[in-house]
Amino acid sequence: MNATAPIASVAVHTTAQWLADEIAEIVQGDLRAVIVHGSVATGDFLPGRSDIDLLTVIDAALPQDRAGALERLVRGADLGDAAGIDLHVVTAAVAAAPQRTPPVELHVGRYPSGVEVTHRVAADADLPVELAMARDGGRALHGPPPHDVIGEIPAAWVRDRGRHWLTTWQGLTDDDEHAAHMVLTACRIWRFAAEGRHCGKVDAAIWAAACDPSLVAIGVALYRYTTGEREHIEPSAIGQVLDKALHATADTV
């Protein structure tokens, strides 16, 4: 397996900065920070298939009119090289002292399948993982560095949420549409448990395949991820990766 992480284009960084500037204009004086994270920050952004992940931290609760303006921004933005936009908005208090299931002011996800919008979610079990990735690997487009606005997230929370998804996916191994996502994310969960650091899908897959070359689904998933070709991944092979990752993470908790 000779895959290496692709480099995000200048264009996507320009788009991310434009979005951050527009967010700052909408939020105005309540803005604490806009942080880009995910594939744009880790270096495995794939033009036409990867999203732009943005975390916006604000000082006070987000009013309905500003939530609506942010939603319109995401819906109408020129995506450039990106396949979509994933925007989360949280208060500075939530970011500074994360809880296991913290509240979210706004989430707007624009994906090839459509747009998802939620405002004022009381508890989001996946947000601590997003905060952790933004803190450790994100880049501030407005405001201070991520470490200055996002508090430390216990590694056990990240591992536990990863194990939740690994267990859930054990019953979904015949879902070919999401097969590569499940395998590559399992590799990321496994590597985080082993080394305590977040990384992109490509790096995680290369690491996991080196740990256990018998897991043939990893190579196929990486090929699908980097080329866009829909090569079939056997459900039993997906299950082997999930089982391996569950076993490895259980050894660390």
What is the full DSSP assignment across 66-111?
A: HHHHHHHHHHH---TT-SEEEEEEEEHHHHHS--SS--EEEEEEEE
Residue 173 within any structural domain of the chain = yes
pLDDT digits (tens, 9 = 90+) for 149-196: 999 999 999 999 999 999 999 999 999 999 999 999 999 999 999 999
pLDDT at 86 over 60: yes
Does residue 116 sit in helix, strand or coil? strand
Looking at 149, 177, 195, the residue that finishes a domain is: 149
Looking at the fold, whether 236 and 113 belong to one and the same domain comes out as: no
Residues near 33 by beta carbon (within 8 Å), at least 6 away in sequence: 55, 56, 57, 140, 142, 143, 144, 146, 149
* Pair (100, 50) in one structural domain: yes
Task: State whether 41 and 136 are in the same domain.
Answer: yes
**Given this model, what pLDDT does residue 182 score?**
98
DSSP 193-238: HHHS----HHHHHHHHHHH-TT-HHHHHHHHHHHH-------HHHH
Do 116 and 208 lie in a common domain? no
Count of C-beta atoms within a 10 Å radius of residue 7:
9
Q: Which of 4-13, 38-47, 92-101, 183-192 has the lowest mean pLDDT?
A: 4-13
Question: At 252, is the pLDDT very low, low, confident or very high (cuts 50, 70, 90)?
Answer: low
The answer as to whether 59 is a domain residue is: yes
The sign one gets for the Cα dihedral 145, 149, 154, 160 is negative
- pLDDT, one tens digit per residue, over 186-245 is 999 999 999 998 988 889 999 999 999 999 999 999 999 888 888 999 999 999 999 999
Which tokens is 126 given? 């996946």
Query: What is the C-alpha radius of gyration for the chain, rounded to an integer number of angstroms?
Result: 18
Tokens at residue 77, please?
Answer: 């933005």
Let me know if residue 5 belongs to a domain. Answer: no
User: What distance in Å separates the CA atoms of residue 23 and residue 74, rounded to the nearest whole number?
Assistant: 10
Per-residue burial over 212-227, b if 16 or more Cβ lie within 10 Å, else e, is eeebebbbbbbbbbbe
Domain end: 117, 149, 181, which one? Answer: 149
- In Å, the largest CA–CA distance within the chain is 54
Q: Of 130, 149, 168, which one is at a domain's C-terminal end? A: 149
Q: Which residues of 156-191 are buried (b: 16+ CB within 10 A; e: fewer)?
A: ebbbbbbbebbeebeeebeeeeebbebbbbbbbbbb
- pLDDT-derived band of residue 3, with 50, 70 and 90 as boundaries? very low
- Stretch 31-49: mean pLDDT, rounded? 91
Q: Does 113 lie in the same domain as 76?
A: yes
- How much is the pLDDT for 253? 46
In a domain, 79, yes or no: yes
Based on the domain organization, do 179 and 240 belong to the same domain? yes
Task: Identify the pLDDT of residue 6.
Answer: 41
Query: Tell me, what CATH number does 126's domain have?
Result: 3.30.300
Question: Strand order in 104-111's β-sheet?
Answer: 114-121, 104-111, 84-91, 51-58, 31-37, 139-142
- The chain-wide mean pLDDT, for the chain, equals 93
Shared domain for 176 and 144, answered yes or no, is no
User: Same domain for 215 and 192?
Assistant: yes
Within-domain flag for 137: yes
Q: Are residues 30 and 134 in the same domain?
A: yes
Contacts of 251 (CB under 8 A, 6+ apart): none
Give the structural domain span for 63: 10-149
State yes or no: pLDDT of 7 exceeds 90.
Answer: no
Q: Are residues 82 and 205 in the same domain?
A: no
**Whether residues 178 and 134 fall in one domain:** no
Average pLDDT rounded to a whole number, residues 132-157 = 96
Is there a single domain that holds both residue 119 and residue 188? Answer: no
Please state the pTM of the whole predicted model. Answer: 0.90
In a domain, 3, yes or no: no
> Is residue 240 situated within a structural domain?
yes
Please enumerate in sequence order all residues whose Cβ is within 8 A of that of 171, keeping only pairs 6 or more positions apart, or say none: none
Q: Does the residue 83 lie in any domain?
A: yes
Q: How many independent structural domains does the chain possess? A: 2
